[in-house]
Amino acid sequence: QVQLQQSGAELVKPGSSVKISCKASGYTFTSYDMHWIKQQPGNGLEWIGWIYPGNGNTKYNQKFNGKATLTADKSSSTAYMQLSSLTSEDSAVYFCARLKRRAPDYWGQGTLVTVSS
Amino acid sequence: DVVMTQTPVSLSVSLGGQTSISCRSSQSLVHSDGNTYLYWYLQKPGQSPQLLIYKVSNRFSGVPDRFSGSGSGTDFTLKISRVEPEDLGVYYCYQGTHYPWTFGGGTKLELK
C-alpha cells in the first residue's frame, strides 16, 4: 500500500531554514510526481509545487518561488522540501502527497513547522 | 489564479440524511486535453485530506457510493447521501487544470 512518512515537527527561529522529508513506499517512487501543500489554521490549503523524482523536474507556485526548494533522492525514495528565510507566515502544517492525474491521491501525515524566537 | 468558491461554509446534517456542497471556479476547468481536473477531498479532524472524487465524478478507490460528484465548466457539486458519522469533517474542492493549482476554502460538515 502507498505510504508517505513525513519527518517530525520543527521549531525554528525567524530567518533560518528548515528541511522537511517525505519517505515514500509501496509504489515506484520515480514514476509519480510528489506534490507539496501548505495548510495554515483558518487559511485552507495552498499548493506549493511538485517534483518529478525520475528526472528532478520541478514546478512551483510563483508565490513560493525563493521560499521553497524541492528535491528528491531516488536511492532512498525520499522527497524533501527546504523552506528558507522563515517568518511567522511560514508557520503551518506542510503535507507531501503523491500526484496522479494532476492531483494528490495519497498524502503524508503532515509536518508542523513553528517559526518562533 | 483560479478562485474556487465553496458554499456553504458550514453545513449541519442529520445522520442518514442527504446533503450537497457547491464549488464554483472563476474560470472554466476544461483543460486543453479535454479533461476537467476537478477533485473533492475530505479532511477529518486531526487527519490529512483524503481523495474522494477525481475528475468531477469518479470515485476514488474504496470511496462508498454514497458520495457522488457532478458538474461541468465552472459549476460543480458533491452530494453525500445516507450521511454516516465518519463523513464529518471539512470538504475541499481542488482544480488541477490551471497553474497554480488551487483549493476551495472548505465546507465544514457537522451533525445536527
Cα–Cα–Cα angle for B10, B13, B16, nearest 5°? 150
| Preferred mutation among B101, B102, B107 to probe A, highest tally of A CBs within 10 A | B101
Q: CB atoms < 10 A from the CB of B14, how many?
A: 10
- Taking an 8 Å cut-off on Cβ atoms, the answer to whether A107 and B54 are in contact is no
Partner residue facing B106 (CB), from A44, A46, A104: A44
CB contact under 8 A, A59 and B99: yes
User: Are A101 and B96 a contacting pair at CB < 8 A?
Assistant: yes
B48: contact with A, CB 8 A cutoff = yes
> Minimal Cα distance from A107: which residue of B?
B48
Question: CA B7 to CA A86: how far, in whole Å?
Answer: 34
Cell matching residue A37 = 501543500
Above 80 in pLDDT, residue B109? Answer: yes
CB contact under 8 A, B49 and A45: yes
- Residue A90: C-alpha distances to residues A83, A100, B49, B83 (Å): 8, 27, 20, 36
- Read off the pLDDT of residues B42-84 as tens digits, 9 standing for 90 and up: 999 999 999 999 999 999 999 999 999 999 999 999 999 999 9
Nearest CA in chain A to B105: A44
Distance CA A91, CA B29 (A): 31
**Residue of chain A whose alpha carbon sits nearest to that of B61:** A105
Contact B102 A47 (CB under 8 A): yes
Q: Please list the pLDDT of chain A residue by residue as tens digits (117 residues).
A: 999 999 999 999 999 999 999 999 999 999 999 999 999 987 789 999 999 999 999 999 999 999 999 999 999 999 999 999 999 999 999 999 999 888 999 999 999 999 999
Average pLDDT of the residues of chain B:
96
